[in-house]
Amino acid sequence: MKLRTAPTGAVPRLCLDILDQPHTLIAGATGSGKSVLINDLIYTALFSPPCEKQFILIDPKRVELRSYRKLPHTLIYASEPADMVRAINKAVDIMERRYKRMTRRGEKQSSEAHIYIIVDEFADLMTTLKRQTVPALCRLAQLGRAANIHLILATQRPTKDIVTGQIKVNIDARVALRCPTAQDSRNIINTTGAEQLPRHGFCYYLTPDTMQPVKVAVPRIPENEINKLIQYRR
């Protein structure tokens, strides 16, 4: 029998940093690499066991995150409208139960697993389920941090109608891949520039720590590396 060993591929620093952020908004034109970055992030998280890092995957496009649905890290995979609403409400439930436990134990920060709620693509979710999901998403954005519940939202349209003010003010880590317009760039990193990035492979990354957007390479983890890790984790 062939023994399986854990893959040991290097993980991108950018991804480790994003996974440490309370919440992250990723914006960029179609084909700019939002899904590539999300795959990188999941790959990076998969180096941790499911008792440390877990996912709630919201996949309105129905194909982008499918291959991760059977992982032990995946609490919920949702691609149908009713399932997506249920998944987001479930995340609020989990958060509230964590707050109760934290109060009981006198903790300010949860010591439970980090749960990443990953939405690829957020504009698709908003155009169909805005009314049903925005209140819950606002609560998660406001209160998730202390409960180790993170939002990672990818969108091709970082406009006010898609990323509402109340969600946006609470998501202070921003990744701008190549944006269609200078205004889109301003919406995400508060300054123009992302419209001039190469078609893919680079982003501007803004966090409260850096205060200014920093240009960072976005590596693409080869699909076979990702698949090897999925097989191992399953």
Ligand X SMILES: Nc1ncnc2c1ncn2[C@@H]1O[C@H](COP(=O)(O)OP(=O)(O)O)[C@@H](O)[C@H]1O
Binding site for ligand X (CB under 6 A): 28, 30-36, 200-201, 218, 220
22 binds, among ligand X, Mg ion, none (CB under 5 to 8 A by kind): none
CB closer to ligand X out of 25 and 85: 25
Question: Least Å distance between CB 229 and ligand X?
Answer: 18
For the chain, how far is it from start to end, CA to CA, in angstroms?
Answer: 18
Instruction: Tell me which of ligand X, Mg ion, none is bound by residue 36, counting a contact when its beta carbon lies within the kind-specific cut-off of 5 to 8 angstroms.
Output: ligand X
Chain Cα centroid distance, residue 180: 21
Residue numbers 130-189 binding Mg ion by CB under 5 A? none
In the complex, the smallest distance separating the C-beta of residue 130 from ligand X, rounded to whole angstroms, is 21
The angle subtended at Cα 34 by Cα 112 and Cα 27, nearest 5°, is 90
Of 5 and 224, which has the nearer Cβ to ligand X? 224
> Measured from the CB of residue 30, what is the shortest distance to ligand X in angstroms?
4
**Would you say 215 or 234 has its CB closer to ligand X?**
215
Q: Which does residue 54 bind out of ligand X, Mg ion, none, counting CB within 5 to 8 angstroms by kind?
A: none
Which listed option, Mg ion, ligand X, none, makes contact with residue 228 (CB within 5 to 8 Å by class)? Answer: none
User: Nearest-CA neighbor of 230 among 2, 1, 9?
Assistant: 9
Identify residues 15-44 at the interface with Mg ion (CB under 5 A). 34-35
What whole-number distance in Å separates Cα of residue 88 and Cα of residue 91? Answer: 5
The binder of 201, among Mg ion, ligand X, none, by C-beta within 5 to 8 A per type, is ligand X
Would you say 174 and 206 are in contact if contact means Cβ atoms under 8 Å apart? yes
Return residues touching Mg ion (CB under 5 A): 34-35
